[in-house]
Amino acid sequence: MLRSLLAPGSSSRVRPATERVVVERVGTESGTDLFNWAVTTQQNDHVDGAIEIEIWSDVACPWCYIGKHRFLSALADFDGRDRVNVVWRSYQLAPDSPVGERRSELEALMQHKGMSAEQVRQMFGHVAGLGVDEGIKFDFDNVIAANTFDAHRLIHLAGESREALMEALFRAHFSDGAVIDDRAELVEIASQVGLDADIVRAWLESDAGADEVRADLDTARQLRVSGVPFFVANRRVAVSGAQQKDVFLQFLSQASEAPVS
């Protein structure tokens, strides 16, 4: 039996579904609309009840930053956490953003969303307030809009340091005003989490990691993921948005109970 979780704005209860899974996302915090997506019968390798959690996320997405903290807090309290393998997947909310443009996030959102400066600032204030509850400092006055493709390539280099690098990228972008499509700044950020600066520089100057990023983006399109963060367990249970901790605990519990075949 395939199952799905509903996102905020509708209900957080779990319900059974047929092979055609409907994930309702009306009024979600990630700002996406109701959509349908088909889950195939693709199987991953599972040993001893292992749970693979794939998370599509963008390091220029404030909801992904909040969702990451909430999910990891839930995972720390989950009894089966030793069986969970987290796989971070690349996603770009604004893939057409020019590299090196260095526009403020305020200006970029006004243009992209057609919102007034006051509307954008109100949105910033709401997100910043939620961030405080998660121990996250958002300084939207200093956020620089960026193309995140190189940052995602770098995440694919990081190996066991991937989660730490993502945290550093989120913090650099949303708290420190770093320009995360500037390769020199990416080298500095990666060095802070222990990656070798020369290796990082050579990686960024090549096309390394690009195919992996594109593969993640292609899979997201196949699953009809239209907003992030998006969490999938063993390709059988899914939840979207920066959910509260208790919903993520329910998600993990259902992932643990869902049959693999």
Closest Cα to residue 220, out of 202, 196, 238, 193?
238
Contacts of 255 (CB under 8 A, 6+ apart): 51, 53, 233, 234, 236, 237
**Is the dihedral angle over the CA atoms 75, 76, 82, 86 positive or is it negative?**
positive
The amino acid at residue 142 is N
Sign of CA dihedral 60, 66, 69, 71: negative
- The answer to the question of residue 205 being in a domain is no
pTM higher than 0.85: no
Q: Which of 119, 114, 112, 68 is nearest to 93 (CA)?
A: 112
Q: Is residue 39 in a domain?
A: yes
d(CA 222, CA 200): 30
Whole-number Cα distances in Å, 248 to 6, 96, 112, 186, 189: 11, 31, 31, 31, 29
Burial class (CB in 10 A: 0-12, 13-18, 19+), 248: buried
CATH code of residue 68 = 3.40.30.10
Torsion angles phi and psi, residue 243, rounded to 5: -65, 160
Burial class (CB in 10 A: 0-12, 13-18, 19+), 184: exposed
Tell whether 115 is covered by a domain: no
Flag whether 58 is in a domain: yes
CA distance 93 to 182: 18
Confirm whether 148 is domain-assigned.
no
Three-class DSSP category at 21: strand
Based on the structure, what is the number of domains in the chain? Answer: 1
Domain that holds residue 13: 1-91+225-261
Q: What is the pLDDT along the chain (261 residues), one digit of tens a residue?
A: 222 333 333 333 332 222 222 233 322 333 332 222 222 223 344 446 899 999 999 999 999 999 999 999 999 999 999 999 999 999 999 999 999 999 999 999 999 889 999 999 999 999 999 999 999 999 999 999 999 999 999 999 999 999 999 999 999 999 999 999 999 999 999 999 999 999 999 999 999 999 999 999 999 999 999 899 999 999 999 999 999 999 999 999 999 986 554
Residue 84, in any domain of the structure: yes
At residue 43, the pLDDT reads 36
Does residue 233 form part of some domain?
Answer: yes
What is the predicted pLDDT for the residue at 248?
A: 98
Distance, in Å, from the CA atom of 137 to the CA atom of 124, rounded to the nearest integer, reads 12
Task: Judge whether 19 lies within some domain.
Answer: yes
